[in-house]
Amino acid sequence: MQTHRPRAFSALLMTLMLLSMLLFSIFRPAETSDQLTRILLTLLLTSIPLLFFLTSRREPARGFVTGASSLTECGVPSTRFADVAANDEALESLRDLIDFIKEPEKFSHLGARIPRGVLLYGMPGTGKTLMARALAGEAGVPFFAVNGADFVEMYVGVGASRVRALFQKARKAGRAVIFFDEIDAIGKKRTNQNDEREQTLNALLSEMSGFRDGDGIVVLAATNRVDTLDDALLRPGRFDRRIEVPLPSLSERLKILEVHARNKPLSADVSLQDVAAETALFSGARLESLLNEAAIVAAKRSGTVISQDDLDKAMDTMLFGMDRPGGLNYRQEKEQTAAHEAGHALLTALLLPESAIRKVSIIPTGKGAAGYSMAIPPEKLFYQKRELLSHIAVALAGREAEKLYSGDDNLSTGAANDIEKAAGLAQRMVCEWGMMPGGTEAYLFSQAQRENAQQQWLDMGQQLAAGMLRRHMPAWQQLTRLLLEKETLGKEDILRCLTDFPRQQ
């Protein structure tokens, strides 16, 4: 608010001046009928507002800069790590920083290079802001929270001066945690020319490299899309520590629900365990608002405790309003993801036994995929044709499994990466390694021949995947069921499915 006052004030003054000028020229006072006096007076009257206008032009910029510090939330937060349920791994990485913020000298005396920037990445609502605030709370230092979007302005240089003002404030505090939410607003990969953003980014980078070793200042930044960030941000000495903040697993959801149920009376028929089981893909923030919504439902019916019925109603409202995963299709989407990932996992176990599968999950990663089956490829120099075909089949198995599960018409867009991977491999097989389907080799051939050969490899991979899935239908179905129930499966679970449900004819 404050920032607009100088501007409004000068505008008012200017209107007043112009008005008086107008009045003056219309009702010319008798004693100034003299031509020269009139000109002089007019000049004087026009120059005053002009002068005002010119001096007030700098005002808004200065006002905006101080305005930025009013956006920041400072003071030592009361939040603690104990307020953060789940996210254990992320908290562990942050725990190291507490000592460093409290006693930077202890580290700098020993010549230890101290982490300056930590990037938290994960979906919205997974507790990134909460953890940053808790870090400041644990270290007992002021917390400066800003949003990246507030540093990108129309006027070139405003964002940069805001960054400098922010760091100046933090330095004055001595020790501090600075939190940049939505850092991607400033730190997107530099593609098109945007001077303002570029200057803001440079200011941030130079402030960060300007830290002295005795400073107990740590900069945390949050984003939900780490892949879009400019490499300059990720270099050593900047945000070189990256912490993934995943969506909570089943047991983590229970812990988060317990934290937020502390101040809410639940009736005896409510099982938070069941609620946790029903809320796959919910973030911490969503779980919190689910309980809040249930409390509101209970209050509306003038209940004294929150019942299972209230929770069910709240759940319906939540699922209906959810943008991702998509509203009413939420359950179907989850099932389809399970079928898809089970397809990848099964084919990996069958076709690439030497690639040790570690786990398969339907919980999305911070990198945009709906689920993943992680396999560790063996280290080797050469791949055989047969093996490359297997890799194509594994990549396409997700889509094939979806087809089996819900039919050709209900395919999801979740296989885009898989298709890209398979097509890329087929292209290299043909164009780089001269591998043709059907046992022939070829080195010189036309564009059409190449494309035809690649398509044949893809078709073969697809048929291999579909055939395998059909022959191992019971094992694949069991894997899908288990995934829906447990969300994440380890290597043993996958292999057990295969031995418990042997191949059909």
Residues that bind Zn ion (CB under 5 A): 398, 418
Binding of ligand ADP by 285 (CB under 6 A) = yes
Tell me which of ligand ADP, Mg ion, Zn ion, none is bound by residue 398, counting a contact when its beta carbon lies within the kind-specific cut-off of 5 to 8 angstroms.
Answer: Zn ion
Choices 33-41, 122-130, 288-296, 462-470; region in contact with Mg ion by CB under 5 A? 122-130
Q: Which residue has the tokens 């365990």?
A: 273
Residue 314 CA to residue 320 CA, distance in Å, equals 10
For Mg ion, the nearest residue by Cβ is: 129
In order of 291, 310, 316, 394, the CA distances from 302 in angstroms are 16, 11, 20, 55
Please, which residue, 129 or 336, has the CB nearer to Mg ion? Answer: 129
> Under 8 Å CB-to-CB from 378, ≥6 apart: which residues?
354, 355
Binds ligand ADP by CB under 6 A, chosen from 49, 77, 104, 127: 127
Give min distance, CB of 332 to Mg ion, in A. Answer: 29
| 47-86 footprint of ligand ADP as x/- string (CB under 6 A) | -------------------------------------xxx
Give min distance, CB of 409 to ligand ADP, in A. Answer: 35
Tell me which of ligand ADP, Mg ion, Zn ion, none is bound by residue 285, counting a contact when its beta carbon lies within the kind-specific cut-off of 5 to 8 angstroms.
Answer: ligand ADP
- The strand order across the sheet containing 356-361 reads 372-376, 356-361, 488-490
Give min distance, CB of 181 to Mg ion, in A. Answer: 5
User: In the structure encoding, which two tokens stand for residue 29, read together?
Assistant: 């006072």
For Zn ion, the nearest residue by Cβ is: 398
Residue 53 CA to residue 58 CA, distance in Å, equals 9
Alpha-carbon torsion angle 442, 447, 452, 454, nearest 10: 70
Choices 123-131, 321-329, 374-382, 458-466; region in contact with ligand ADP by CB under 6 A? 123-131
- First vs last C-alpha separation in the chain: 75
Binds ligand ADP by CB under 6 A, chosen from 201, 259, 314, 469: 259
Binding of Mg ion by 129 (CB under 5 A) = yes
Binds ligand ADP by CB under 6 A, chosen from 256, 297, 349, 392: 256
User: In the structure encoding, which two tokens stand for residue 400, read together?
Assistant: 């094939």
Among the listed residues 138, 207, 341, 487, the single catalytic one is 341
Q: What is the DSSP letter of 32?
A: G
Give min distance, CB of 245 to ligand ADP, in A. Answer: 6
Choices 12-20, 126-134, 184-192, 458-466; region in contact with Mg ion by CB under 5 A? 126-134
Q: Which residues of 340-367 are buried (b: 16+ CB within 10 A; e: fewer)?
A: bbbbbbbbbbbbbeebebeebbbbbbbe
341 a catalytic residue: yes
Please, which residue, 49 or 137, has the CB nearer to Mg ion? Answer: 137
Does a cis peptide bond (omega within 30 degrees of 0) precede residue 6? no
| 198-227 footprint of ligand ADP as x/- string (CB under 6 A) | ------------------------x-----
Choices 124-132, 340-348, 349-357, 476-484; region in contact with Mg ion by CB under 5 A? 124-132
Residue 443 CA to residue 187 CA, distance in Å, equals 44
Tell me which of Zn ion, ligand ADP, Mg ion, none is bound by residue 127, counting a contact when its beta carbon lies within the kind-specific cut-off of 5 to 8 angstroms.
Answer: ligand ADP
Q: How many CB atoms lie within 10 A of CB 121?
A: 24
Binding of ligand ADP by 126 (CB under 6 A) = yes
Query: Could you give the maximum distance between any two Cα atoms of the chain, in Å?
Result: 115
Tell me which of Mg ion, ligand ADP, Zn ion, none is bound by residue 418, counting a contact when its beta carbon lies within the kind-specific cut-off of 5 to 8 angstroms.
Answer: Zn ion
Residue 437 CA to residue 147 CA, distance in Å, equals 54
| Residue 402 near residue 441 (C-beta atoms within 8 A) | no
Q: Which SS3 state, helix, strand or coil, does residue 181 take?
A: strand
- Binding residues (CB under 5 A) for Mg ion: these are 129
- The set of catalytic residues is 341
- Binding residues (CB under 6 A) for ligand ADP: these are 84-87, 124-130, 222, 256, 259, 284-285, 288
